[in-house]
Structures are given as C-alpha cells and as structure tokens.
C-alpha cells in the first residue's frame, strides 16, 4: 500500500525542501523511492534524515508540482536533523537506515524514530483525492498523452464541482493552469498538433 505524503528535508545549509512523495510502511520503517534527479534524495543522503508530513491541505501537493507555491512554512523537527511542515495533521521523523542505490530510482529504507499528532483527521473529501490525482498527472505531463490527461481531468472535475472548498479550488486552479502552460510551451517550441496529442 502506498500513502501519498509530503516529504520535508533540509539541505546542508538548512534550506528547506518540500516534495509530495509516496511512502510505503514496513513495520517501523518507511520506504521512499525518489526518481533521480531528486533534491529530496540528495538532502536525505547528506543529512540522513527526513520527515513525512500527513496533511489534507492539498494546495501543498498541487503547489509543489506546479511550482505555483512551494515555500510552505516549516519548523525544526523534534528529534532528527531536518524540518517539518509547520501545519499538518501529524508527522513522522525518519532516519536513513539503508540506501539501495539505483541509477534511476534508489530505494531509501528509513527508520521512524519519532511521531507527533497535531490535529484530528476530519474525514475523506473527494475533491482532495481529485487534487492528489491531478497533481500526479501534472508531475507526469512530459510522458502522458494529452487525451489521457484530458479524460482523467474531466472525470476528476466532477468531484471538484460537487465537493471542493476554497483550498481545493485554489489547488485545482494551479493544476489546470499548469496543464495549459505545458500545452502552450509545447506549441511554441514547434510541437505539432499530432505531438500535442501524442505527448
Ligand atoms: C501524490 C504524489 C506522489 C508522488 N510520489 C513520488 C515518488 O514516490 N517518487 C518521486 O520521485 N516522485 C514522486 N512524485 C513527484 C515529485 O513530487 C516531484 O517530481 C518532485 O519534484 C520530486 O523531486 P525533488 O525531490 O527534486 O523535489 C509525486 C508527486 C505527487 C503529486
């Protein structure tokens, strides 16, 4: 089972980095699999630490993958040499236990050394799930056919229209704008109509 989380890390100079990332759990260990190149990977290798943040604020997922908003407030982690989101429902602090290196997608096995709860989970929301799905599509625009992206966004739009609040609408707006920007840049770099539907 993969849980979609926000991973926060700190560079050697303390600069915070925030990235949506899937996490798997194996007992007290968390498995992360960042594709190279990855600032998250570089920061974890250098600091041997990271934090998994559990949040329903889907603007963070959409803001990071669209680069519309990636400087969310962070504070120092309690036990590890890293940072966490200032606002989350809960977080887990991780130390690097093992790096299984790979030229495309290394696997990081991280030991959970500390957990904190900050706020209650208030229930599932379909628009939040739609934004997370949309953010994954946006992070893969370079490899997905345009018609698949359009079909999936049209389906996800139903949950947005029926169940979104302000936060989800903001996040959804960033995603749709990012798709439009991607199409414009393909078109202006000479991408033909065929390429636009084939990429
Ligand atoms: C819900 C979600 C899950 C993601 N999971 C992963 C992941 O497991 N591995 C990965 O490399 N990128 C994942 N991404 C894409 C990264 O967030 C994005 O590529 C990011 O820039 C990672 O690179 P960085 O470490 O340099 O920030 C995910 C994106 C979303 C929206």
- Indicate the pLDDT class of residue 159, thresholds 50, 70 and 90: very high
Kindly write down the DSSP assignment for every residue of 144-192, as one continuous string: S-HHHHHHHHHHHHHHHHHH--HHHHHHHHHHHHHHHHHHHHHHHTT--
SS3 state at 54: strand
Average pLDDT (26-35) is: 96
Show me where the domains of the chain are located.
3-117, 126-198
Q: Does the pLDDT at position 191 exceed 70?
A: no
- Indicate the pLDDT class of residue 101, thresholds 50, 70 and 90: very high
Question: How much is the pLDDT for 190?
Answer: 77
- Indicate the pLDDT class of residue 195, thresholds 50, 70 and 90: very low
Average pLDDT (160-168) is: 98
Residue minimizing CA distance to atom 28 of ligand 1: 21
CA of 33 to the centre of ligand 1 (A): 9
Nearest-5° Cα angle at 148, 144 to 151: 150
Run of H or E residues at 22: strand 16-26
Residues having CB within 6 Å of any atom of ligand 1? 4, 19-22, 33-35, 38-40, 61, 65, 132, 135-136, 139
User: Tell me, what DSSP letter sits at residue 88?
Assistant: -
The top-level CATH class assigned to 3-117 is: mainly beta
* Best mutation site among 24, 34, 58 for ligand 1 pocket (most ligand atoms within 8 Å of CB): 34
**Side-chain-facing half-sphere of 42: CA atoms under 13 Å:** 11
The mean of the pLDDT values for the chain is: 95
* Best mutation site among 8, 10, 17, 38 for ligand 1 pocket (most ligand atoms within 8 Å of CB): 38
Q: Summarize pLDDT for 75-97 with one digit per residue, the tens.
A: 999 999 999 999 999 999 999 99
Does the predicted model carry a pTM greater than 0.85?
yes
CA of 153 to the centre of ligand 1 (A): 19
């Amino acid at each position: 089972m993969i849980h979609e989380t926000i991973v926060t890390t700190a560079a050697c100079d303390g600069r915070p980095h925030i990235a949506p990332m899937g996490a798997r759990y194996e007992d007290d260990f968390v498995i992360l699999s960042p594709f190279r190149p990855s600032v998250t990977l570089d920061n974890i290798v250098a600091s041997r630490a990271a934090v998994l943040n559990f949040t329903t604020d889907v603007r963070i997922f959409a803001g990071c993958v669209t680069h519309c908003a990636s400087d969310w407030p962070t504070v120092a982690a309690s036990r590890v040499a890293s940072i966490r989101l200032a606002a989350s429902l809960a977080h887990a602090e991780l130390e690097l236990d093992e790096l299984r290196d790979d030229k495309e997608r290394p696997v990081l096995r991280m030991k959970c050394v500390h957990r904190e709860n900050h706020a209650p989970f208030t229930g599932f929301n379909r628009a939040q799930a739609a934004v997370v799905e949309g953010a994954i599509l946006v992070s893969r625009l370079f490899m997905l056919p345009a018609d698949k992206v359009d079909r999936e966004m049209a389906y996800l739009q139903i949950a947005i229209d029926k169940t979104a609040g302000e936060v989800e609408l903001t996040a959804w707006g960033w995603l749709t704008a990012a798709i439009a920007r991607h199409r414009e840049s393909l078109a202006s770099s000479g991408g033909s109509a065929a390429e636009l539907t084939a990429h």
